[in-house]
Amino acid sequence: MSNKIILASSNQNKLREFKEILEPLGYEIISQRDAGIDIDPEETGTTFAENSAIKAKAVYEVAKCAVIADDSGLEVDYLNGEPGVYSARYGGTRDDKVHNKIVLQKLEGVPDEKRSARFVAAISYIDDDGRLSQFIGKFEGRIGYEERGKNGFGYDPIFMVGGISSAEMTPEEKNAVSHRGKALRELAGYLSSTKN
């Protein structure tokens, strides 16, 4: 069993988070770009789990080695779960600033108690033999009233946990409580238990 795992993404922020949690366990995480794989499968799933499996399988078909993929996003209760699986392309764009502006505008005048939201991450792991395992993590909070903080990406600046935004947390604080951190720790536990 190889200790190299390809991340089915070239997103540097995601790559950093995966490395921070999995590399101390002895795994080398490389992006699909660094592995020389240039594919961008269409995410046609209706759930984060379906989309992460689509990405993992597409890269596994090319690489035939261990692959990890995640699909994650924001669910805002007041907006009936939007942006959901469309988080990365909300409003027809991939611009984080625009996404945050749309959410804040849609929640204008909505009181605190109705601004509940969560980040959800679904991680798909395919081992060297092609077996798929999935891990789900959730991070509960609420939507703030303005962008705050510089540490995060995506919706982090508007996602409030207690008195601070996700983008005001240190990477260590965020990894300890975030949706991706939770799902990654579940994956890490699984990898540790199956390591020979």
Q: Which residues are known to be catalytic?
A: 71
Contact status, residue 128 vs residue 1, Cβ threshold 8 Å = yes
Q: Which two tokens stand for residue 75?
A: 């669910």
Output the CA–CA distances (angstroms, integers) from residue 65 to 83, 163, 178, 196, in the order listed.
Answer: 32, 43, 28, 16
Q: Which two tokens stand for residue 113?
A: 């108690």
Contact status, residue 127 vs residue 68, Cβ threshold 8 Å = no
Amino acid (1-letter code) at residue 159? F
Amino acid (1-letter code) at residue 89? R
Q: Which two tokens stand for residue 55?
A: 């990405």
| DSSP-based three-state secondary structure for 115 | coil
Contacts of 135 (CB under 8 A, 6+ apart): 122, 123, 125, 183, 184, 186, 187, 190
Q: Which residues pair with 160 in a beta bridge?
A: 142, 165
The pairing of strands 67-76 and 28-31 is unpaired
